[in-house]
Amino acid sequence: MSDFPWLSVLVAVPAVGALLVGLVPRRRGVLAKALGLAVSLLTLGLTIVVALLYRAGEGQFRLTEQYGWVERFGLYWSLGVDGVALALIALTAVVTPVVLVGGWDEAEPTGRSGKGFVFLVLVLEAMTLGAFAATDVLAFYILFEAMLVPMYLLIGSYGGPRRSYAAVKFLLYNLLGGLVMLAAVIGLYVQSATLRPDGGTFLLSELVGLPLSPQAQYWIFAGFMVAFAIKAPLWPFHSWLPDAAGEATPSTAAFLSGVMDKVGTFGMIHLCLPLFPQAARDLAPVIVTLAVVSILYGALVAIGQSDMIRLVAYASISHFGFIVLGIFALTSQGGAGATLYMVNHGLSTVALFLVVGFLVTRRGSRAIADFGGVQRPAPVLAGVLLVVALATLSLPGLATFVSEFLVLVGTFTRYPVAAVFAVLGIVLAAVYMLWMYQRVMTGPVRPTTEGMRDMRGREALALAPLLALLLVLGLYPKPLLDVINEGVAPTLSQVGVADPEPVQPATAEGASG
């Protein structure tokens, strides 16, 4: 069983499923949706098998596969998972069927085919899974860039009135980052050809520990980091996200912010830290500063938003700041917290985008001022929004609290000032989330919301697994943290850092001596 190419099959299933959906006649839209949902559930089942096999394996990367592509130039289809990759693969597999169910009827108002939406989501799932499992730098880059196309089509085909502008802006920003990253990939290959007796390679296993000069590390690290900062998105490379999420359908925005953007922060852990350890150590203070700015900037701008979708988008920018902060704190608590934050942010943000989308569909408006008193005609919808809002502001007992706490603890041991400023982001999150809830759900019932229907069965089905996971991971995150730590610890070792020693208080005897 261990020799079976589980990871390749995991990537292939949604890709083949997308092709099958594409063969369904246009008039059979319901069949296309049902087939896409079945394929996504099959992918989730395979992910569970991969997780079980991972626990029985050994080494940092498990279930490894390597197939020659153009071996003369060191090109391979090489896959493997560590604890960080496995956690994000699981997130992708969970979110995809949720997005398909939540966005079941989103294509109809645009007059476009629902099967096209399902096709593109499955293609995105396949590429995202491949990126998380790739252990070849060039294969990772190709998937990193290729996933822009289906997301561009999702935004441009099914989005709002300014969808063309938002889709082009999304594509241009990310293509610019991709071009910079391509230069860095080529530079890394040239360096490996110079420093290795066997010639150039793109294999991560051969590149880790390569004796790059400090100058080469800085330049190549910067190339990768710019691309990942745009994808993440990190301030000041963030401005494409509010437009893309604001014009996309809620389910598309959910997949974009909840899953696809995690490829950027994953790349920071997967490539930037182990490949360029000296550059990561030396430039960490700069990136930590940018992360804190992202936290505060995203939260402050979210407070000033009158559009619910854009508010959630700016909240995501703030949360991505926490993730980057944990990664470049270069501590075990920070790294584990950042990875767990990626998972928990994915769950909470997908749920938040979907709930807000349900409200927007009912009211026909995204403006917060157009709502009021919704909790009376739709108490279940109001209750779900409250739970998701509390998860977004990291209420203890819900999953995001654990990850945010670990990030702050891990950061405080190395960058106490940054951690103190980051705490302000939690306070600001309470302001914008509770303010939105109060304006939308409480107060007198407006005539335009008086007859608003409550949550339907399909909508509840989409949100139920997310709410359950937010609760379970909030109360008992240990199994997932154990897996994540198995990926974080070797990475920190490759960077050459250890957790700072705790400061011992001076005793009276020591002081007198």
Q: Mind listing the pLDDT tens digit for each residue in 415-471?
A: 999 999 999 988 898 888 888 888 888 888 888 777 788 888 888 888 999 999 999
Task: Kindly state whether residue 466 falls inside one of the protein's structural domains.
Answer: yes
Q: Mind listing the pLDDT tens digit for each residue in 71-100?
A: 676 678 889 999 899 999 999 999 999 999
Residues 6+ apart with CB under 8 A from 91: 258, 259, 262, 342, 343, 346, 347
pLDDT of residue 325: 94
- Determine the Cα–Cα distance for residues 278 and 273; give it in Å rounded to an integer: 9
Amino acid residing at 27: R
Q: Mind listing the pLDDT tens digit for each residue in 321-355?
A: 999 999 999 998 999 999 999 999 999 999 999 99
Provide the residue range defining the domain that includes 488.
Answer: 276-499
| pLDDT-based confidence at residue 222 (cuts at 50, 70, 90) | very high
Q: Mind listing the pLDDT tens digit for each residue in 286-311?
A: 999 999 999 999 999 999 888 888 89
Task: Kindly state whether residue 53 falls inside one of the protein's structural domains.
Answer: no
| pLDDT-based confidence at residue 56 (cuts at 50, 70, 90) | low
Task: Kindly state whether residue 373 falls inside one of the protein's structural domains.
Answer: yes
Task: Kindly state whether residue 322 falls inside one of the protein's structural domains.
Answer: yes
- b/e 92-107 (16+ beta carbons within 10 angstroms → b): bbbbbbbbbbbbbebb
| pLDDT-based confidence at residue 43 (cuts at 50, 70, 90) | very high
- Determine the Cα–Cα distance for residues 482 and 465; give it in Å rounded to an integer: 22
pTM of the model: 0.90
For residue 156, give the nearest of 146, 147, 166, 169 by alpha carbon: 166
Task: Kindly state whether residue 237 falls inside one of the protein's structural domains.
Answer: no
Q: How many domains does the chain have?
A: 1
Task: Kindly state whether residue 281 falls inside one of the protein's structural domains.
Answer: yes
- Asked whether the bond before 236 is cis by omega within 30 degrees of 0, the reply is yes
Task: Kindly state whether residue 51 falls inside one of the protein's structural domains.
Answer: no
Q: Mind listing the pLDDT tens digit for each residue in 189-219?
A: 998 888 888 878 888 888 888 888 889 999 9
pLDDT of residue 24: 84
pLDDT of residue 498: 75
CB contact at 8 A, 206 and 199: no
For residue 53, give the nearest of 3, 96, 97, 13 by alpha carbon: 3
Q: Higher model confidence: residue 467 or residue 513?
A: 467
Task: Kindly state whether residue 382 falls inside one of the protein's structural domains.
Answer: yes
Task: Give the start-end residues of each E strand in 15-95.
Answer: 62-70, 75-81
Percent of the chain residues topping a pLDDT of 90 = 45
Q: Summarize the confidence of residues 41-68 as an average pLDDT.
A: 86
